[in-house]
Amino acid sequence: MKTDQNRRTFIRTTALAAAGIGIGANSFAESLYTSSRYGAAVGSRVGIIGLDTSHVIAFTKALNSPNPGPEYSGFKVVAAYPYGSKDIKSSYERIPGYIEDVKKMGVEITDSIASLLDKVDFVLLETNDGRLHLEQALQVIAAGKRFFIDKPIAASLADASAIFSAAKKANVGVFSASSLRYSVGAQEIAGGKYGKVLGAETFSPCHLESTHPDLFWYGIHGVETLFTVMGPGCKQVVRASSPDVDVVVGTWNDGRVGTFRGLRSGKLGYGGTVFTEKATVQIGEYGGYNPLLKQITDFFKTGIVPVSSVDTLDMCAFMEAADESKRKGGKPVSLAAMYARVPKKSR
């Protein structure tokens, strides 16, 4: 009976659309989707661009669970465009398996970003290759869809600036963050539990990818933790580098000093020590993906960005300055010098 009803609805809607009676192409697609097996009403449909990172599996499992947490406000992943990098092996090799994984969770696979955008209200831009993010983000912005960009926001400060500039001009909400930002310890420290942060030393794995500036690919996790507790406002960076480790020391405008240690040997992990007015505290364990996902769905619902573009751009400038310091044999490099390289149209 239910199948017959759905079939009658489909035929009626198709006939109306063909006759041009009170229904446009977009609302036609929305009507079909609302009555589909995915069970997501218009206004709660999430689309994914890029199926080449484990993040998409974690996010889809949480949102499309038979019993999702109420904190996700009924959002469901209904469609995905799978393709991303064509030359980063660790990315493109994952795509076939992840396509099958998300299909089992009720996600439709589309053949283009344009097709995806017709079916969804919000977007998770998950392509692992940051070089593609500007081109992909501009399509989402043109469609007027609120969206989240997973780390790295881009593969350069210039591209990250261009994304935020285009989004602002179009009045489209967007933010980017690593899940490390939302570990309990980092949030408590940033929230002032121990008073003012006087300095910090964070660490994370820092595997390199030749297509990206060194810290953008994986070191960004520890850099984001550093900026979570220190805040924006770093003015200068010095980097020491060897095959096994990177140490990047930043001096903030108010004289505070923060250090990131990127690990490529020994036991790898995430964490750090923070020096505050009241105590010296450990950031603690990584809290998984769900705290970030809660921030994303809250943003989809309210439009309030939890991480400002200033924070994200300062992180990009910090990471590019670290590369420049390495090229200069460990000499200090200012973030202002990195910002000066960004084309004016992208600022």
DSSP per-residue codes, 221-238: HHHHHHHHHH-S-EEEEE
Widest pairwise Cα distance in the chain = 73
63-119 residue pLDDT tens: 999 999 899 989 999 999 999 999 999 999 999 999 999 999 999 999 999 999 999
- The pLDDT of residue 39 is 63
Helix (H, G, I), strand (E, B), or coil: what is residue 162?
helix
317-331 residue pLDDT tens: 999 999 999 999 999
**Residue 253 half-sphere exposure toward CB, CA atoms < 13 A:** 6
Q: Which residue(s) pair with 48 in the sheet?
A: 80, 124
CA–CA gap between residue 223 and residue 272 (Å, rounded): 11
Q: Above 50 in pLDDT, residue 31?
A: no
Name the token pair of 218.
Answer: 């994986």
Name the token pair of 114.
Answer: 């344009």
331 backbone dihedrals φ, ψ, rounded to 5°: -75, 150
| Mean pLDDT for all residues in the chain | 90
CA–CA gap between residue 34 and residue 16 (Å, rounded): 17
- 144: burial class by Cβ within 10 Å (0-12, 13-18, 19+)? exposed
